[in-house]
Each structure stands twice: as C-alpha cells, then as structure tokens.
Chain A
Amino acid sequence: MSTTLTHAAGRFLDLKALAALQHRRFTTRHRIEGAYSGRHPSRQQGGAGEFVDFREYVDGEDLRRLDWKVFARTGRAYIRLFQDETNLRCMLVIDASGSMRFGAGAGPDAGGSKLEYAQYLATALSQIIARQQDQVGLGVISEGLREFLPPGGARPHVALLQETIEKIHTRPVTDLAGGLRTLFQRLTRRGVLLVMSDFLVDRPEEVFAALRLFRHRRWEVVILHLVHPDEERLPEGLAYRFEGLENDGHVDVTPADIRRLYQERFEAHAAAVRTLALAGGCDYRRVSTATPYLQTLGGFLVERSG
C-alpha cells in the first residue's frame, strides 16, 4: 500500500505524470541502517522480521532466539536468524555549478538545461521516496555546500525540500569535492547518496575521493552523470563563439575543425568519470537530458528494484 502525498504542485512536480510510477519504489540492493521500521532490509538481524537462516548457538547469545524444537529433536543448539526491515535514508545531491545551466530554455522533455533536468528528477524522486515512507534529504553544491536539508519523511519536510529544489540557481564557481566533504561531515548515519552532476570539474579525482569517504562509511552512492546531447557533439555551423559558463572566457572556432577531437575528449572525460565511479564502488548511470526524465526515472527505478 502506498501513501499519496498531496500538496500544491510546484514547478517541477507533475503529479499526473508521476501517477504512472506509483507502483515503482526506490529500493536499495544493500542492507541499510534506518531509524524506523520500514520496507528495506536492515543491517540488524533481530528477533522479529522474516526468518532467513539457522546458525549454531554460541555461548553468551540470547537464549530467547534458541530454536528449542530443533534442540529437543537433535540435541544440538541452533538459534534462528531473522532479517529486520527498516526505512531508507536517501540524500539527494544536486550540482549547481555553472556548467549545469547548459541547455537552458528548452522544456523538460526537449532537453532543457541539466540543472532543470536534475530538478525534475530530484523532485520526482523525493516524491516517490517520501511516498514509500522513507526519508529524503537534499544537498545543493556549487562553490560549496550551499543548501542542506537532512533526510526527513514528514510532509512539510518534503514540501520544503521540493521548494528548495525549485529555487536552485547555478553559480559560476564550483567546488563539488569540497561540498561533498562538507556534506559528509554533516551526515552522521548511513544511507543512500544520490549525486546528480555533469562532473565537469577540473579534477574529477578529487570529487571521487570525497565520494569514497561516503563509501568508507558504507553509504550506497549512486552517480547520475547528466549529459546534454549538445555536449556530446558540437553543433553544425560555420563559426561559433563558444562562451564558458564558469567564467572561463570564450573562443571563436569552426566546429568542423575540431569536431572529432572534441568528441574524443568528451568521451574520454565520460569514460574517466565512469571508471572512477565504478572503481570507487559507486553505482553509475549516464543520463542524457535528451531522454524524458520520467523515462529515465522509470528505468532507474526498475533497474534498482532488480
């Protein structure tokens, strides 16, 4: 049974569209630590919950968990193991650097800016996570951790979160790695960290070094690498003046002259991000903003539900 959240729909919240995903759940493949009882397997193996296995008794263990019937029948002491279920704590992290503004002006399904795409995606995810009685938090990173909402499941919290998402604006300066470190310091309990970024930073290694901190604390880290289709290949045309989005000047060029080299470098960058993510034990998914966000979200949820 799912709980329906009802509040005034924001700019990025389309409840009608999300209705198609009402049977989808944001799950995790790992056992997690939750504050409350929920529907996700907990790292705790208590006396309640679903029976999963037997194990020989070890001195000092709670005799209440001893399977007396087996002991009476075989004379050997076994205890019964049960899997606890708890709720999920998901931390949504949105990169609000200048490069995320690329593609602004188009609609959500026509390849708008990467930030807009991330806003749509984060709003929908927050709605889905909250609907399944899980907790969702938000971190907005530009020159540092600009916004931080700790995970929560209350309806006002989710509304505040979605309002915060709606108000996100890009900043020309970015320090994604620094923001992640700050976020790490402020998060005390494990959960799922979902990072939406284009990873167009000078040193991606530092970003993933910060993410490894989360992994060391046994967070599940999910990377959504946002890519705009116009970034993958340069536009057709005789001459362009390309202007940087992060105060990095401009350059006049004929795209045809460097098209192949550019594509090679971009693909090399994407491959490097993917490699770093997988090497760090992160779940990586490359998301093209040309794909409608609901389709992306649906696929993402299906993939995670296994």
Chain B
Amino acid sequence: MSFLHPWLLGLGLPAVALPVVIHWLTRPRPRRLPISTLRFIQEAIRQRRAVHRLRDLLILGLRTAAVLLLVWAFARPLIGDRPLVSPGEAGEAARVVILDVSQSLAADVRGIQLFERARPAAAGYLAYVPGLRANLVLAGARPRAVFERPSSNLAALREALAEARVRPERIDAQAAITAASDMLAKAAGDAETRLELVIVSDFQRDNWSRVDFSVLPERTRIQLESVAPPETPANLAVLRVGSQGQAELGGAVTLEAEVGNYSPAPRQVRVEFTAGDGVYRAEGLCPPQARTTLTTTAVLQAGGWQTGRARLLNVEDALPEDDARPFVLDVRPGTVYALVTREPASQLASSSYYLERALVPARPRETRGTEKVIRVRPDQLDRDALAAADLVAVDHPGKLSAEHVALLAAFLQRGRSILYVAAEPVDAVNLKQLADAAGPALKMPVEFLPPSGPARKEQRWTFVRANLTPFSLFGDAVSAAVAPLRFNGGLNARPLPGALADDVLAAYGDSTAALVTATCGAATLAVLNADLPASNLPGSPLFVPMVGELVDRLLGGGRREETVFCGETVIVDLPPDAGPAAGLRVVPPEPAAETGALSDEPGGSVWRCPAVGGPGVYRVARGETTCFALAAAIPPEESDLRPLDANAFESGSGPGRPIHFLAHTGREDRRDSWWVWLAVACVACLLVEVLALRLLRT
C-alpha cells in the first residue's frame, strides 16, 4: 500500500494523541471539598467504575480511531499492487504494447465496444516520455507489429493505433508474446534499460489459459490491463453449422447448428438456415453456459457445392457478429462406392459379390437415397476412376503397384475413407505399403501379416466391442449374433506399440484382429480380416447391417469439415474431381481478401492461403463451376466472453518477470477510492461515540 500524500502521515499520526491531549487540557480542575461521607462516595464510585471505565475506553478508542481514519483518508491510500508499468515513468525503457484485436473486443458493453476502451488504454502507454522506445503489436490470429523493434517514433505508433480495427479472428496470444519477446530481447542490451510488456485485452478464458510468459527476457515487467467488464456480458452465438451425413441431391439432409448460450439464463433460440433457395428454421431451448445443437431437415434441389448461412433470429446480445455463420454443403447425386477388385462381377459367391450386395442391398437404406457401386479393376485404377467415389472398397485386388497404393493414400488424405477386405497374403503387403505411403497420419492398431503355420480354420469372433460401431447396432444380441460365425483363412496380425485398443473392433480366438479401423486425417481406413466365401458371415443376418453401419461410419468420418477460421492459414487438398490447378481460381468472399495460391501435388491439387479473410465463403472454381467451397467463420472461442481470473497469470511468468494484472475498472482512480470509505468509517466512529455516550450516560 502506498499513499498519495504520505507527508500527511507525518503530520497526522501525532494527531492520534489529540483526544488524549484535549482530554487532559480540558479536564475540569477539581474543587477541594472535605466531606464526612467519603465512604459513600467511594462505594458509589466502585459501583460505577466498571461502566465508566468501559465508556471512557470506548470513547477514547473511537475518538482515536476517528482521528486515525481521518489522517489516513487525507493521506489518500492507494490500495492494491502498484502497477509495474506506469505510462509516465521516465528513464530508458523498451516497451511493447500488445493490443488484442480479436473478435471478442467488438463486444458491446453499455453502448461502448470493448475495443474503444482498449484503444485509449493502449494509447496511454504510447505517450511521449523521454527515453522511451516502444512498439505496438496488434494481436489477432497472427501478431502484426508496427515496427520490427521498439522505436522512439511514438507518433507513428499512435497513428497505427488510431487506425486499428477489430478483426474476425481469435488471438494467438502465445505468438504475440513470442514476437514481443524477440523485440524486447533485441532491446535488452543495456542493463539499465527497463523492459516492459503491456498487454491490453479482455483476457478471454479460452485464449489466455495456456499462455507462457517464460519466453520473455528476464527482468521484463509484465503488465496485463484488462478491459473486460466486471460482469460478463450475455452473448449468444452460432458456433458451428453443418449437416448430418452426406447431403444428397433431392434427399433429405439434416442441417445442424450448434448454438452457445453464454448468459446466466436459459434462452429460447430460433435459427434460420438459408441454403440454396430454401430457408429452414430450427428452434430450441438453450441452457445457460452450454452449447446446444439445433437441427432441421432440408431437401436440397440443387447439386454441387451449395453455400448457406445460419443466423439467430430476434437476438440482442453483446457480440452481434457471431449471431450468423456461413456454411457450405457438398450436395452429391448419391453415394458412390468404388469397388476395387480383380474378381469379375459375374462371379457369384465371391468375396466381392458378397461385399457389393452388402454395400448396395436390395432395399435402400434410410440414410442413403441412391447408392451405386462402380467396379474398378486394379489395373485401371487412377484418379479419374476414383473421382466420383465417396468410399473405396478394396477386395481381392491382388498385388497393388506403388502408384496405386500412393493413389489410395492420397485418396485417404483427401478425406475419402477406404474399406479393405483382407483375405489373401498379398493383402498384408498392400496394407503395409498403404500404411507407409500414408505416413504417420495413418495410425494402424495392428500390422497384418501373411498367414504362417497351420491353416486358420473354424475361427470364431471371441471378442467384439459391443459398445462401438458397427456392433452397437445389435445391442445385447451381439454375442448371440456372432456366436454362430465361423471363419477360415484370413491374415495373421500383431499389435503395434502405442496403438489405440479401441481401434480393434473384433478379434478371433487366437487374438488375431478381425476388424480394425485406423484414422488418417479426416478419413478412416477399415480392414475386415476375413475370407468371406470361406466363412458363414455373408450368410448370416449380421453381415449386411454390420457392413451398412461400418460404411455409415466411414462416410461420416470422412466428411471434410468445410469451415476454417478467419485469419488463419489454410492448406486444403482439393477433392479429386477438382482436377489440376491450372484453370482453377479462388473466389474470396470479399474482393480485397487474400486468395492464396493453387498448386499441383502428387496427390492432387492443393490450395494454400496464409490468412483467410471473411467471414464468408471461399470458392475454388473452374470457370463458373465450383469445385470446392470453404466457409471462413469466426472462431467459436471468441463468443465466450468470460475472462480468465487474474490469479491464473501469476504462475505463468516465471522467475525474474514480475507480472501485474490491472482491471480496467480498477486503475489508479480505483486504487485511490479508499479514502471515501475511510471518511465514512471516521463518521461511523463519531456516530458510534454519540450512541455510546447516550447508552452509557450517567
């Protein structure tokens, strides 16, 4: 605690003795009077002395306290930690001011944007002081420093500050601090130079909880100035928009919007989806401080890449920018399976025959309208053959060439899943090559090996994960369903270290994996280790629904998330049907937005953009035809306006880097507000004294 007028303490503290001195000076001079009844006086005094002594002590204490409080109030105490960085402090100093320009700073609190509170707060640290060199870092998805290093051109910094605007981005706080660290390290040559880092932000919980200040040079004074209001403003936001399953032309698709209610009360929310020419609405109750998914069913009559927008209706909240969100849908005519096999379609009771029947059963599934299987001979396997396929099924392909394996790996990397039915020893080689081609992105739980030793006969599935797809469909009957199954042939398998146990969905009695899945980016590779003609699985009632569930999972998992966050770097492997980069162009949501570059790579075309703009929809088009679309949206973290507690920052600074958190409402004027309470306490003391005199009067 410090004082605004400490010299008053020197004058005032002796005044604490004032009541005693006044009492001594003004005490009545007693008149001498001989009296015969002194004993009665002494007895009366003895009886009254206890009360009088209490009263006298109470009054003396209250008067002394009143004087003490008055002196304290006049000295103007400054309660709380002293700021580590004072804007007007003279001397050689290198100061970096990080100003948060993320979307949450656009929150409106009592008619004023948080950013308009942050701007003058930051400007205060950029005022001219002799010996001060400063720099301004506008922190969004990536830090944007005005100068490369701290400069004495403070006027330019203030000008840049005046032109700064809120961006629809989330803050990469660690990147901003690292950039500031580099600047301060360059200026840390002189030991006499103060190193100061000032961060002006709303310190959202999600963005600042993992910040590490230890990257800063030692003796850096860190001052965090929060512009977050004391009460977190209520906010509603559309956090995510998408479809459940693949959108098919003319078929019903479920649109879903995840709505975040960051307010203390539940809210009845209506969401309006605009997709193509149709408008759809969903409604529901959102509990407080929770995310709720609202769904509606849409029938899309136009194929190809469709853009849309979901927005909240009749909502007034702190951040209107996140009340709407763009989205894209890839509307396909129907699910297309590419069945890569060397077995002829005319061969009945073959493995591929059973698999094709399971993929496209006689009665169409509810989740997929029209389904089609395209048989592809391995020697005809190329990008064009797989371009229209939503899922690739591989069954008895024989030995795949390295080129074909690379093609399948690229197919996986582009978000298309593969179902591999492994029965022949060569399948083990193919899978090994596929795992190698896909690289570390493909995490196989087991390694399949050619069968060795005695032939595998009469094997049973002794282990299935009944709680996971596809077996969860059967519920408690799964054990009874798999009990009659008998298998011959198949591959051996051995577990790989560090693999996920949940990826092995079924296993034989000899612990050989029977059904495994492995993720590869957004796609999934599923391997069914079974020789279908040599088993009774195709003839069992388990087969078709099991394959159907498995395919549903592969199609769902393989669906690409066609949303990126504004301001962030995007590298997109364009779908195979986009064709080569030549002739493709990127259409941004705004003409001035950065479009990035398109390039051809072995797996196909790739679009790279260092920082997408938005919010809006980026389209990759060939001519007027959209080959790919991507929605750039505000990161959902920006919608949760709850700030991080100040105490959370204390542990992150490390030794030699003092840190001070300064709430915007608790600046110097708040530290100096205690004199009012002291004055009130002084008056209270005097009132209590009057009360005591009345209660204990003689």
Contacts and interface: CB of A to CB of B under 8 A. Distances in A.
Question: What class of interface size applies to chain A in its complex with B?
Answer: 35 or more
A241 B41 contact: no
Nearest to A248: B38
B36 A231 contact: yes
A75 interface: no
A261 B38 CA distance: 13
Contact of B36 (A99, A249, A258, A262): A99
B327 to A, nearest CB: 88
B11 interface: no
B34 A243 contact: yes
B40 A266 contact: yes
Interface stretch (A13-21, A160-168, A232-240): A232-240
B31 A266 contact: no
Given A245-B36, A258-B45, A239 B28 contact: yes
Contacts of A235: 33
A115 B39 CA distance: 19
B698 interface: yes
A101 B28 CA distance: 27
B186 interface: no
Contacts of B35: 102, 230-231, 242-245
Given A257-B52, A261-B44, A243 B33 contact: yes
Contacts of B42: 251
B43 interface: yes
A265 interface: yes
Contacts of A242: 33-35, 38, 41
A244 B36 CA distance: 6
Given A251-B45, A258-B45, A261-B47, A243 B32 contact: yes
B45 A237 contact: no
A183 to B, nearest CB: 23
A257 B698 contact: yes
B38 A244 contact: yes
A258 B47 CA distance: 9
A114 B31 CA distance: 22
Contact of B48 (A237, A261, A269): A261
Given A240-B31, A241-B31, A252-B30, A102 B41 contact: no
B694 interface: no
B30 A239 contact: yes
Contact of B39 (A198, A237, A239, A248): A248
Given A99-B36, A102-B36, A245-B36, A258 B41 contact: yes
B37 to A, nearest CB: 5
Given A248-B38, A269-B40, A258 B48 contact: yes
B29 interface: yes
A300 B167 CA distance: 114
B32 A241 contact: yes
Contacts of A245: 34-36, 38
Nearest to B42: A251
Nearest to B33: A240
B647 to A, nearest CB: 56
A200 interface: yes
Contacts of A254: 28
Nearest to B51: A257
A269 to B, nearest CB: 7
A289 to B, nearest CB: 12
Interface in B1-59: 27-45, 47-48, 52
A56 B119 CA distance: 134
Contact of A243 (B38, B40, B45): B38
Contacts of B41: 234, 242, 251, 253, 258, 262
A48 to B, nearest CB: 50
B688 to A, nearest CB: 21
Nearest to A241: B30
B698 A200 contact: no
B6 to A, nearest CB: 41
Contacts of A250: 38
A225 interface: no
Given A200-B36, A240-B33, A257-B698, 4 more contacts: A239-B30, A251-B38, A258-B44, A261-B48
20 contacts: A98-B36, A101-B36, A102-B34, A102-B37, A200-B36, A202-B39, A228-B36, A239-B28, A239-B29, A241-B32, A241-B33, A242-B33, A244-B38, A248-B39, A252-B30, A253-B45, A254-B28, A257-B52, A262-B41, A266-B37
Interface of A: 98-102, 114, 198, 200, 202, 228, 230-231, 234-235, 237-246, 248-254, 256-258, 261-262, 265-266, 269
